Amino acid sequence: MGSVYKSYPLKAPRTVRFLIPKKQEGGVLSYQFVVENLDQNVRFAALSYVWGDPVKSGSLMLEGERKGVTRNLLDALKKLDKILGQDDSRSSEPLPLWIDQLCINQDDLEERGSQVALMGDIYSCAMHVYVCLGDSNTAVDAAYVVTSVFDRIKLDAAQYFTIDDIPYISTDELMSYNQLNWSALKEMMLVSWFSRAWVVQEVGLAKHAIVLYGDYHFEWQSLMTVLGWLSYPGSRLRQIHKISGWAVHQLWVSFDPKGRIQTNHFPAYDFLDILSHAACSYKATDSRDYIFSLLGHPSSRLPPLRVELQSPLIEPNYTTSVASVFIQFAIAWLERSRQAYLFSCVNHKQLPPPYAGCSSSHTNRLEIPSWCPRWDFLPLGGSRLDIETDKRWYNTSASTEFGFRRLPEDRLEVRAILYDTIFETFAALKDLPVPVVVDAKSARVSICSASEIETALKLSSLCGSILESMGKQSSSNPLKEQSIQDAIFVFASTVHAGDWQGEDVSLHKARQLANFKASLVQAQRSYALVEETAPSLFEIVFNLLRAYCERLGCRISTADDPSGFLQVAETKMASRRLFLSDQGHIGLGPEIIVPGDVCCVISGANVPYIVRPLGSAANLLVGECYVQDIMHGEVIRDYGKFEYEWRDIVLE
């Protein structure tokens, strides 16, 4: 079969092979190749699908020879052939078709890299992109939900500027919408196609995408409009039926924020945000494709501070190791953007302990430097503290500028203030046992779900543990009531990573504590104490909160959304844990932090970071962190008053 590709070489720049359907041979699909240049305005269609298990294979005829393909591709081609055969509006001559599995010689790594570099242009130039989701018994219901809800949205949207302006659905409307089979839509959003890294770019760049699902097809634009609507006006339906797809919609919007503004609410993701969401939510067989599959995104060619640089950050090259690809990309990003934001994408499964006595040779043992993000392991995804598209929340390093120096063996030297050392760490939220037993029957009448009530109980126990540790830490000077009250507020803000910034602090203080207290009240109504002989940490914290809230006038009525408070806490604390520092600060950092790690302020960075000392000069970058008292440049403003000192530190 290699000779077939040799007969249709891709020697000229921007040339690709296309498939021309031929008359079936004995019921077997048959195609022939044609080579075209993308600059010649060729009309063609492209397929977006999941390769599937290569062992489960089928076959078709290509240039008169039998060609093995994955079963998923064969099923997608049969479905496409059937649907196009039913379409009387199409021209007599079918459009040439581009399919990566067939049009690229996958055994030629050099050709594979050069063609992958063109995939952004291929999908953006295609007349149609057919999105094949596979088969399902509920496909008819899913298609009906999409088309019928889209028609209703169009009627409502005609009265408003954007979908976000449509009022939230009323109780009567909710009953009407609930007659639809939302479980079918939920099932569709969980098919394997939505977990494949390549699809982000394929539909993001498509000017006209058509979804093929079972024996039905509908416009991709319709699905995106429905998902956008479910994020805001229809959010109650999304919550009730637990429908995913918010990130799918936001990623799609990011490819054309101006053209797709009618279904957008948040600022469009930039390239590192795209990579982060893809790495967290999507899968790639080849780890290099976490980057290569997204190079067609507009922001991959337009770094924030260097508008004149239009070349890609990295060229696809499958002869280069995964580690080299990640490092090359990271260096290119730092050199072009001159932003520390890349460090916020760092996550580690594990690292050597502090003061392990490692030298610069440690880089080789890590395979990838600690400061370089691994795009094949990013559990936090878009829930990072520092969001590139919205920098108003944090400004830890004030007006300082970021700079770095590249050292041998892929080490980096950066300017930083080593601010505080971690004294004690606490269990991650997911690892905490529920301190009491939740009564499911009582939970049904609560405004919080049973899982949220368990979260409230865990938070109360965690808060009590931290207060207990703070008391031990300052045993020579016992905590005063005001200090305890302040600590509870800092705790409540820290589990939210301070996402209230920009509001009036006193107003926030009352509302945040009221939400925390209200969530505990709901929990108190739905639990039975395991040990009734002695008050639990939960009871201690609740009593303290009650007294503090009453003093501030924080009644339960002040709480605007205790359920929302708990949901945000669950999100912010995922893959993170709380810590107590030597100076008595409560902080939130990566799950792998340990006592002895150091919180530092890196020049030009919006958030502080945790580093792990390996000796007098070397450090490992553990990840970003939140410490309430230093998130807005306080360390820089106090520089000179305390023993803060800028120094050059080396990141291994």
Q: What is the pLDDT of residues 79-108, one digit of tens each?
A: 998 887 655 444 567 889 999 999 999 999
DSSP for 349-397, written as a single string: S--PPTT----TTHHHHHSS-TTS--TT--TTTT--SSBTTB-SS--TT
pLDDT digits (tens, 9 = 90+) for 423-452: 999 999 999 887 667 766 665 656 677 788
Identity (one letter) of the amino acid at 296? G
Beta carbons of 233 and 166 less than 8 angstroms apart = yes
Whether residue 414 has pLDDT greater than 90 = yes
User: CA 242 to CA 549: how far, in whole Å?
Assistant: 34
Average pLDDT, the chain: 85
Q: Which residue has the higher pLDDT, 353 or 602?
A: 602
Q: Which residue has the higher pLDDT, 586 or 562?
A: 586
Q: Which residue has the higher pLDDT, 360 or 510?
A: 510
pLDDT at 92 (0 to 100): 60
Asked whether the whole model's pTM tops 0.85, one would answer: yes
Identity (one letter) of the amino acid at 250? Q
Whether residue 481 has pLDDT greater than 90 = no
pLDDT at 364 (0 to 100): 42
- From the centroid of its chain, how far is CA 149? 27
Query: What average pLDDT does the segment 622-626 reach?
Result: 96
User: CA 35 to CA 7: how far, in whole Å?
Assistant: 10
No. of H helices and E strands in the chain?
23, 20
Whether residue 649 has pLDDT greater than 90 = yes
Judged by average pLDDT, the poorest of 4-13, 130-139, 468-477 is 468-477
651: nearest Cα among 373, 273, 394: 373
pLDDT at 446 (0 to 100): 63
pLDDT digits (tens, 9 = 90+) for 6-62: 999 998 999 999 999 988 777 899 999 999 999 998 999 999 999 988 777 889 999
Q: Which residue has the higher pLDDT, 129 or 556?
A: 129
pLDDT at 264 (0 to 100): 56
Whether residue 592 has pLDDT greater than 70 = yes
Q: Which positions ≥6 away from 269 have C-beta within 8 Å?
A: 250, 251, 254, 277, 382, 389
Query: What average pLDDT does the segment 474-498 reach?
Result: 78
3-state class (DSSP) for residue 258 = coil
Whether residue 360 has pLDDT greater than 50 = no
Q: Which residue has the higher pLDDT, 540 or 624?
A: 624
Query: What average pLDDT does the segment 149-165 reach?
Result: 85
Q: Which residue has the higher pLDDT, 150 or 482?
A: 150
- Sort residue 604 into left (φ over 0), alpha (ψ -120 to 50) or beta: left
Q: Which residue has the higher pLDDT, 251 or 54?
A: 251
User: Two tokens at 621?
Assistant: 């970058």
pLDDT at 369 (0 to 100): 96
3-state SS, 9-69, equals CCCCCCEEEEEEEEEEECCEEEEEEEEEEHHHCCCCEEEECCCCCCCCEEEEEECCEEEEE
Whether residue 305 has pLDDT greater than 50 = no
pLDDT at 144 (0 to 100): 97
